Amino acid sequence: MRADQVSSDSLPSVGSLRSAVILSCAGTRLTPREAILFARLKPAGVFLFKRNCRTPEQLARLVREIRQVAGPGPAGPGPTGDDILIGIDQEGGRVARMRPPAWRSLPAPGWLRDVPRRHRERAARAHARRTVAMLRPAGINANATPLLDLAIPGADAIIGDRALGDTVRDVVDLARIIHEEHLAGGVLPIIKHLPGHGRVMGDPHDRAIRITADHRTLVREDFAPFRAFADAPAGLVGHPIYPVIDPHKPASLSSAVIERWIRQEIGFTGLLISDDLAMGALRGPMARRVQASLAAGCDLALYCRGRLVVMENIGQAAPVLTGAALDRFNRAMALLR
């Protein structure tokens, strides 16, 4: 039995409230158990990955299945049906879930650094518009871009050619164009990685990483692009440890980093999403990671591996999206209606 054959009567639900999590799925169609979980839990969002993207027709069908079983949120669907965040990482280059031959290949954002300055705005707009043109027909309404991390000489290649520039001005100017074009095309841009990830000397996908720069340097350089986007509707907080403020917890689990740096010093007012909590930078049971990220100040906890048993455990631990977090979610989603 396929997900679209599951009777609505068999889908237990917590009502119209959404849970404060973003989940994922294992393949190119929802399984019946995934459908039941999504209907009961009503996640605030679902992120898609290469494993979910085979053809344009298949991907659009999968998104319709997710919307069908997850159901409308507290305010009901808007005119475009955007009541749940359907997200993806489609930067271009090596971070692209929709790939040839089914979709067009676009270069990594760092390619824009090599474009003559007088042509950069046009190139950035074209890149963003082509990206949006792939996403919206599939029903995808959020993209984890633009990346605001600086290109730091000698840092780990995890950022590398993904960075828009090595100066605050270049990053902000190009990111503004990408941000504008996504919103204009009906796709929510999610800035990343708050409060600044460019200085990492390792890959947080694999292990815990410390950024040891002093506070003054971080404020002057790393934080600056994010301050320019303090009113952005949504942002992703990374997993590095910043010993200067919290020597023990990664940013995504640290109330000191989130409240004092991201919310107060940077002034970010938008929906705050954790980076993937399944990364090797974190330890402990997944349900505990979800609870810790939300307790630290993230509005939504992101889990990307798509393992059903893990998501079922998350469902037991995830609270309903309420209060200021719900307000920020609604404000972000209203931009798509």
**Helix (H, G, I), strand (E, B), or coil: what is residue 23?**
strand
DSSP 8-state secondary structure symbol assigned to residue 76: -
Q: What are phi and psi of 126, to 5 degrees?
A: -65, -45
Catalytic residue among 89, 161, 275, 299: 275
Our CA angle for 308, 312, 313, nearest 5°, is 120
Compute the distance between CA of residue 85 and CA of residue 18 in angstroms, rounded to an integer.
11
Structure tokens at 88: 């993806």
Residue type for 193, please?
H
Structural element, H or E, at residue 312: helix 308-317
Q: Is 275 a catalytic residue?
A: yes
Cβ atoms of 24 and 48 closer than 8 Å: yes
Catalytic residue among 205, 222, 231, 276: 205
* 299: nearest Cα among 279, 321, 330, 268: 321
Q: Is 205 a catalytic residue?
A: yes
Which residues are part of the catalytic machinery? 205, 275
